[in-house]
Amino acid sequence: MQNYPAPAQALVAEMTAACEADTARAVAFQGAPGANSHIAALEAFPNCLPLPCFSFEDALDAVRDFRADCAVIPIENSLHGRVADMHFLLPESGLVITGEHFLHIRHTLMALPDHGEIREVMSHPQALGQCRHWLRAHGMAAVAYPDTAGAAAAVAEAGDGSMAALAPSIAAALYGLKVVEDNVADAADNTTRFVVLAREGREIAPDAGPVMTTFIFEVKNIPAALYKALGGFATNGVNMTKLESYQRGASFAATEFFADIEGHPDDPHVRRALEELAFHTKWVRLLGTYPRARERGFGG
């Protein structure tokens, strides 16, 4: 609680108490009340009780500790790429991906009602990255903060008329700020993909409709390792919609990959592709199979 700016603490306490009284409806999110993750949780689960958590680790812990039924966590943005640390935190959490949700992001520039010339803008690094050209064009310096709505609360607490926040418009009303500019972004199609994380997966039949499967794997340190590992997806006609590499540790020798494919592991063609992947890699770990929320590819 003490990590949140003072203007947010009463709201956090109120929402936390409601979740403690009904943990089955609690959905954890990272950030202060009014953050984009808060909005995503309410869109994905309209009847939920959102549980604000200061960090991603806190949100995952809330699910593991049975203080929340699930968590709604951002994993990638259409403008700024993957959300930092999630490729490490997600596999280590022991939780399962049970769903996905896409949120159209609308950043709002907000400041004190009697603000002067704005010289600094505070927000989450993802939000700042999504608006970096706009900020540079307006001569405003970016200041990183753990979440968007928390930045709005921090601006309200600081009382500095030269500072503003980038946050969802609801945060202005929550923390008594004035909207300076609506729809701030470097592109109009700014969208963030969230995943739903739970302690256990939901049973999904192979013929239940379009599904996604997410997994991680580590290639062998040999020539053409990735080419050989992915060959089975091409020969079996499995559409891979996401493939990202990352390094764990400081050796730079073992490359791990995070991937999304369309299809269920029990589908014959998907099963064959995953079997071939396992043959050509050190290990493969499934992170979840879940209903597809949005069609991939052109027009998706």
Domain boundaries, the chain: 6-104+191-198, 107-184, 211-289
Q: Which two tokens stand for residue 228?
A: 């050989």
Predicted pLDDT at 216:
94
Amino acid (1-letter code) at residue 296? R
Q: Looking at the DSSP assignment, which residues form a beta bridge with residue 180?
A: none
Longest dimension (CA), the chain: 64
**Least confident residue range of 2-6, 16-20, 150-154, 267-271:** 2-6
In the chain, the N- to C-terminal Cα span, in Å, equals: 40
Predicted pLDDT at 299:
45
Predicted pLDDT at 171:
97
Find all residues with CB under 8 Å of 21, minimum gap 6, and list them: none
Predicted pLDDT at 252:
62
Can you tell me the distance from the alpha carbon of 50 to that of 17, in angstroms, rounded to the nearest whole number?
11
CATH fold label, 6-104+191-198: D-Maltodextrin-Binding Protein; domain 2 (3.40.190)
Which pLDDT tens digit goes with each residue over 136-190?
999 999 999 988 999 999 999 999 999 999 999 999 999 999 999 998 988 878 8
Which pLDDT tens digit goes with each residue over 58-76?
999 999 999 999 999 999 8
Amino acid (1-letter code) at residue 280? H
Find all residues with CB under 8 Å of 51, minimum gap 6, and list them: 15, 16, 19, 26, 27, 28, 29, 59, 62, 67, 68
Which pLDDT tens digit goes with each residue over 206-245?
777 899 999 999 998 888 889 999 999 999 999 999 999 8
Contact 122/165 with Cβ under 8 angstroms? yes
Rounded mean pLDDT, 14-41: 96
Predicted pLDDT at 34:
96
* Residues making up the chain, counted from first to last: 300
Can you tell me the distance from the alpha carbon of 152 to that of 142, in angstroms, rounded to the nearest whole number?
14
Q: Which two tokens stand for residue 45?
A: 């689960």
Predicted pLDDT at 300:
44
* Average confidence score pLDDT of the chain: 91
Residue 230's CB is within 10 A of a number of other CB atoms, namely 22
Phi/psi of residue 276, nearest 5 degrees: -70, -40
Predicted pLDDT at 74:
92
Residue 8's CB is within 10 A of a number of other CB atoms, namely 29
| Active-site choice (194, 215, 257, 258) | 194
**Same CATH fold, 211-289 and 107-184?**
no
Superfamily covering domain 107-184: Periplasmic binding protein-like II (3.40.190.10)
Can you tell me the distance from the alpha carbon of 53 to that of 29, in angstroms, rounded to the nearest whole number?
6
Q: Could you write out the DSSP letters of every residue in 9-52? A: HHHHHHHHHHHHH-GGGEEEEESSTTSHHHHHHHHH-TT-EEEE
- Per the listing, tokens 């999630």 go with 86
Amino acid (1-letter code) at residue 290? Y
> Is residue 51's pLDDT more than 90?
yes
Which pLDDT tens digit goes with each residue over 237-295?
999 999 998 877 666 666 789 999 999 999 999 999 999 999 999 999 999 999 999 88
Find all residues with CB under 8 Å of 194, minimum gap 6, and list them: 37, 40, 44, 72, 73, 74, 75, 100, 101, 102, 103
Amino acid (1-letter code) at residue 268? P
More confident residue, 196 or 90: 196
| Active-site choice (192, 213, 214, 281) | 192
Can you tell me the distance from the alpha carbon of 125 to that of 160, in angstroms, rounded to the nearest whole number?
21
pTM for this prediction: 0.89
Element (H, E) at 142: strand 141-144
Amino acid (1-letter code) at residue 178? K
Q: Which two tokens stand for residue 12?
A: 């956090």
DSSP state of 25: G
**Least confident residue range of 101-115, 182-196, 286-300:** 286-300
**Catalytic residue status for 194:** yes
| CA-only gyration radius of the chain, Å | 21
CATH fold label, 211-289: Alpha-Beta Plaits (3.30.70)
Q: Which two tokens stand for residue 49?
A: 């009780």
Whole-number percent of the chain with pLDDT over 70:
96
Looking from the CA of 211 toward its CB, the CA atoms found within 13 Å total 21
